[in-house]
Structure 1
């Protein structure tokens, strides 16, 4: 048997320093499953129910085995049963397949499968968390499975979100409002309703009845930026007071301001989209964009010659004079 060793070559592609868990991908009953956590400190091999449905395994086929699983936080989860599934690790010609008994758990987790010490002993696998690699003997040579460092970080972030949801306190029947009702302030000045839409008289707004006394104002909505404006001169002192109180501010809208519209999706739901039709009409399309010079320079590295033949325009089909 070839000896199993770890060298500096196994560190290629790993970002140091790191303390990432060992997460791999495997074939579970000919289905590729990602986010497989290899945990040699776990005494059980666990598969979660949402992954168990992917290989189309019915819940009735589970063996009746209800085992309480206890984590380091003290949480207890009882398994729904056990099932025997074949799992394959490694790459082609250097892979091995074993029949592993998994405990099926109906629990929300960032991982799909947890391989414990039982499966690792069946594979005769040796793990190096520093190299993020697992090696095991095969019929040909030693097989190697490398950890997916990016996926491991994604699973870690997802697990932190689950912890925050668990820590949220839910108290039923508790009214956090004060016993006294919220007293709203009454306007000092007399208000009158004025229409803001000439086509829909039900849309109104309340303004000061004494402003301006003559003529009676009518609010209008500007179609360009959908802001409410008052026709006629506005007293400067009142505007200065509003500006000083930071109740209003000057807003400069671009002429290319695009409105946000609601668009119905194919599934019946709605989504917010920005209408860039006017901006696209004003931007002519460049059929022959200038390529990025840095990409051209990088593409010529290691080559002795650079061809300037433009095959797209068909210039290479123009016949040349023999003397040239």
Structure 2
């Protein structure tokens, strides 16, 4: 039995190979147990299983606790930071994403409201390639509810039914707690 699954490929360094949503897991008949660090799924007449080794997980957890509880030896602020990459599948040094602090707006559509943000730390060549890629693929962005044809408009719109002849009444303020 095969099911087609729609997913998005993103070129980002993360510890996951794929993120599957709950609806897809349910469609595939997958049972996930976070307590047992195990996932089971039907495979024809058998049951497939994905699990992790509890001992390795426990060692990583305890090692991280030891590193986090060590007091700082230096009187000056630390200049060297220890980053642990716990994915054993990646032997080479993997870059981590930067914090989203220094961003600048770039226009990726014909209207002035069609903007997004990119990091200022990008090299000019990388930034121009990224902006041109976003411009070429601007049709995948939803700028308004009209850009989402597969979604029911009743889900997007809120209707407040008020009789035209009714009086406006201001609701009294509710006390949520004692003011101190």
Q: Answer yes or no: same fold by TM over 0.5.
A: no
TM-score (norm 2): 0.29
TM-score (norm 1): 0.18
Q: Which has the larger radius of gyration?
A: 1
More strand by share: 1
